Structure 1
Amino acid sequence: MDRKRVSLALAAVTMLGATPAIAARPDARIFKAATDARPAQLALLEKIVNIDSGTGDAAGAAKVMAVLVPELKAIGATVETSPAEVAGLGDNVVARLMGKGKGRILIIGHIDTVFPAGTVAQRPYRIDDKRAYGPGVSDEKGGVVEAVTALKILHDLKETNYASITLLIETSEETGSPGTRKLIDKLVREADVELNVEPGDAPDAVTVWRKGSASIKITVHGKAAHAGVEPQNGRNAAAELIHQIATLNSFPKSGDGLTANLTTLRAGDRVNVIPDLATADINVRVRTPEQFDTILGAFQAFAKKTLIPDTTVEVSTTPSFPPLPTNPATDKLAAQAKTIYADLGLTLTMAGNGGASESALAAAAGTPALDGLGPVGGGFHSVREYLELSTVTPRLYLLTKLLIQLGATPPAR
């Protein structure tokens, strides 16, 4: 690809919304491949976004895998189906390319979404001049398609200077990866580096820290009674639950530190019965494990101080992901990615957020990890979810070149 064609291609990327920050000097061969791949990349994205695959929708997950697996087999990847480790979840896929170099690279992406079956019929994939929309378009189907496309580019360019590249496509990340925990633990310990294709944050960042996540469930047991004839004989579990939820007032609901938010609330099933059971779920995000111990202890202590006589309160927890702390290994990978992005005349920034991911498990195992390598998006877990089209080609270039560099020179564990 000559200098004039590179300039024209970069101009096209700029017209899509990206803003060059410095003089561009892209690797012409990789940039041409990334640019040429764009139509097929977006077509593949449309196919899998238009398949409902909420966590727990095993049939939907299988339909998405039926689209992706042939793409991987076509480039010579060895593809294995790994049954979910928890009943009711979709099977996972592990695809491997073997090379002749040093680096053992693990890429992780997920195709489960937070949306129920029927969402695609209501709001299927669509694009305008700047963005793509649809359930899971950024979180995280855009990143998964980017990973598959990057592997195709390596195959087409005959790039084999890596020991192995393993792509894990999993189906339960949105609930803490219960269907893949053992598999992830095995794969991250076998790898020299883990790259995660969660969406990048606006305006154009990779993720260098993440909060850990967990849920606290409050269960109140009371006594049922006729709400009109003898309410005094009841013990209102819902009223006590409201009292218990007041513990939340001691903790922030937003920000870069610990946050705790009420997410589900259930009580009663008849309008004329004093409820004898009420439950609430509190979503907790922490920067350190100690922060979770603090908030759990607060709820457990308050559970002993009931307002409604003869009610009992239980506090339980379901852990999800640990935090991904700021650390030198991730910072070094981010600096490497920033240098690659500068090839395009673009500035890559570093950020963190409250969304947990598998990269925390990699870092905890001592494997250097970099997150947020997918296209930039926003509006996650809502009807507003979108993917910035201007970042599709630059992010594909970034991931592809990062794979080449890390394959040749992996980071020290």
Structure 2
Amino acid sequence: MNIANLPFDSEVMLQELRAWVECESPTWDVTAVERMLDLAAREMAVIGATIERIAGRQGFGGIVRARFPHPKQGGPGILIAGHLDTVHPVGTIDKLAWRREGNKCYGPGIFDMKGGNYLSLEAIRQLIRASFTTPLPITVLFTPDEEVGTPSTRDIIEAEAARNKYVLVPEPGRTDNGVVTGRYAIARFNLEATGRPSHAGATLSSGRSAIREMARQILAIEAMTTDDCTFSVGVVHGGQWVNCVATTATGEALSMAKRQPDLDRCVERMLALSGTTNDVAFKVTRGVTRPVWEPDAGTMALYEKARGIAWSLGSDLPHVSAGGGSDGNFTGALRIPTLDGLGARGGNAHTLEEFIEVNSLAERGRLMAGLLGTLD
């Protein structure tokens, strides 16, 4: 079968993707995420998949696992791993409304990563409509918590990946049409400062401000950034009354490194910040961590397969190791051949200007179909 002849149509795909984008699904809103999972599950059931729902835990939504009919069903095959949660709160659609401007289309989560998830299902649909039996069975796993580090579903992702020969991750594509063959390591940290309260107007000097200490530590944390390891604080909460010296302040920090030993050293530096200064206790605890994924022979062989398909379709396919963790960190670290960044091209992820390049829907859909149709 000639993949180039499959009737992918970016315009049709875009209109069908709209329902996914307008079904807002921020990670912490379980009801919203479940609504998105329902939408995807129904679409895959229509295509012909057998759907399994796995209950959520730790306050997150559940998981949808779809297995498509195949003579070798149950044997090692191809896992498509994607997340349906986004960073955009419900109501973002009012600020980042669906809109088309030339070859760009905007919307919350359209780039990271609903566009990639959708085009993957379109690739499967096109192959089924063409009555083409892929060499290997296909499983799709959609999860609810990637944007916060995948704390509740890592075990399911790793177990499912281990039952398959290949993992394809339709996270956002690169601006140069590239894909991702490795990811940097990422660690998250929880920060807590505990001071002593007092009346901010009458007895200010007797209090010890947790907010002040948190501010001091934030500057110290971000100043630790080097070429080998970065540090950033992205969440801060503190105080309750403006006329009270704050007793507590909390925050969340993130560290990223290209090599695992570098991250291990960064973790040590962060944990060493715990202690007491000026009668204010500061505590750092380690949160979820994504291991470094370094490309091995299996991943590079998978990449070369994809590159050959791209060449046959008239485009180049560069590759890179990248920051911005994904669930490919887990599968790649397990040395399961993994190819990431297979989603739509676009930009401005996690912002109110998030967009995809419309023509990349069909282009990346064909690439995905080519992989599904030839991997053995």
The answer, yes or no, to whether TM exceeds 0.5 is yes
Q: Is 1:77 matched with 2:81? A: no
Q: Which residue of 1 aligns with 2:374?
A: 405
Q: Which residue of 2 aligns with 1:50?
A: 22
Q: Which residue of 1 aligns with 2:253?
A: 282
Match of 2:125, SS? helix
Once the two structures are TM-superposed, the CA of residue 242 in structure 1 deviates from its matched residue by 2.5
Q: Is 1:180 matched with 2:153? A: yes
Once the two structures are TM-superposed, the CA of residue 288 in structure 1 deviates from its matched residue by 2.7
Once the two structures are TM-superposed, the CA of residue 130 in structure 1 deviates from its matched residue by 1.2
AA aligned to 2:138 is I
User: Within 5 Å, which residues of 2 pair with 1:4-403?
Assistant: 29-35=2-8, 37-87=9-59, 89-100=60-71, 104-252=77-225, 257-304=228-275, 306=277, 308=278, 310-403=279-372
> Are 1:176 and 1:321, in contact at CA under 8 Å, matched by a contact in 2?
yes
My pick for the range that moved more, 312-321 or 369-378, is 312-321
Match of 2:128, SS? helix
**Residues 93/119 of structure 1: CA separation in 2 closer, same or farther (3 Å cut):** same
Q: Distance in 2 between matches of 1:360 and 1:294?
A: 19
Match of 1:335, SS? helix
Once the two structures are TM-superposed, the CA of residue 166 in structure 1 deviates from its matched residue by 0.2
**Residues 34/328 of structure 1: CA separation in 2 closer, same or farther (3 Å cut):** farther
Once the two structures are TM-superposed, the CA of residue 305 in structure 1 deviates from its matched residue by 6.2
Question: Number of residue pairs matched?
Answer: 374
Once the two structures are TM-superposed, the CA of residue 34 in structure 1 deviates from its matched residue by 4.2
**Residues 147/128 of structure 1: CA separation in 2 closer, same or farther (3 Å cut):** same
AA aligned to 2:272 is A
> Are 2:107 and 2:354, in contact at CA under 8 Å, matched by a contact in 1?
yes
Query: Identity over aligned residues, as a percent?
Result: 28
My pick for the range that moved more, 266-275 or 320-329, is 320-329
Q: Distance in 1 between matches of 2:222 and 2:105?
A: 38
| Cα deviation digits, residues 123-165 of structure 1 (max 9, x gap) | 2222121111100001000011011101101111122233410
AA aligned to 2:33 is A
Once the two structures are TM-superposed, the CA of residue 291 in structure 1 deviates from its matched residue by 2.3
Larger Rg: 1
AA aligned to 1:162 is P
**Residues 249/198 of structure 1: CA separation in 2 closer, same or farther (3 Å cut):** closer
> Are 2:165 and 2:337, in contact at CA under 8 Å, matched by a contact in 1?
yes
Normalised to the residue count of structure 1, the TM-score between the two structures is: 0.85
Q: Which consecutive unaligned segments of at least 5 residues does structure 2 have?
A: none
Match of 2:187, SS? strand
AA aligned to 1:293 is D
> Are 1:209 and 1:324, in contact at CA under 8 Å, matched by a contact in 2?
yes
